[in-house]
Amino acid sequence: MALVNPSFLQEVKASKEFNATACMNCGVCSAVCPLEIDLLPRKLFRYVLLGLEDKVLENTPVIYQCLLCKMCEANCTADVNIAENIRFLRSYIGRKLYKL
């Protein structure tokens, strides 16, 4: 079961690096991603915006698979800084899971 973590939501909102509020959930980013992984990046950002930290943490290997190629970003009509958002999530995971 997915649980909302309010402190995760608070950290995301306070962060200058993560910003997907303009996302319209259109799915273009996932359609052009060369990895063709269902989670990346549209669904992942949905999880984050809903505060579902456990869903983010359980998908750590996928988050590290992203190539940061920005193919998604170049095609996003809402100008979401997708690669920067992924970097933020990696840094969050590092702090949370590996105490980096």
Positions in the binding site for ligand SF4 (CB under 6 A): 23-29, 33, 35, 40-42, 66-72, 76, 78, 80, 82-83
Question: Using CA atoms, how far apart are residues 19 and 25, in angstroms rounded to an integer?
Answer: 14
**What letter would DSSP give residue 17?**
S
Nearer to ligand SF4, 3 or 74 (CB): 74
Question: Using CA atoms, how far apart are residues 83 and 66, in angstroms rounded to an integer?
Answer: 9
Nearer to ligand SF4, 35 or 93 (CB): 35
Q: Contact at 8 Å (CB) between 55 and 22?
A: no
Smallest distance, Å, CB 65 to ligand SF4?
8
Nearer to ligand SF4, 3 or 69 (CB): 69
Taking each continuous run of H as one helix and of E as one strand, the counts in the chain are 7, 0
Smallest distance, Å, CB 99 to ligand SF4?
26
Q: Contact at 8 Å (CB) between 29 and 41?
A: yes
Nearer to ligand SF4, 56 or 66 (CB): 66
Smallest distance, Å, CB 20 to ligand SF4?
6
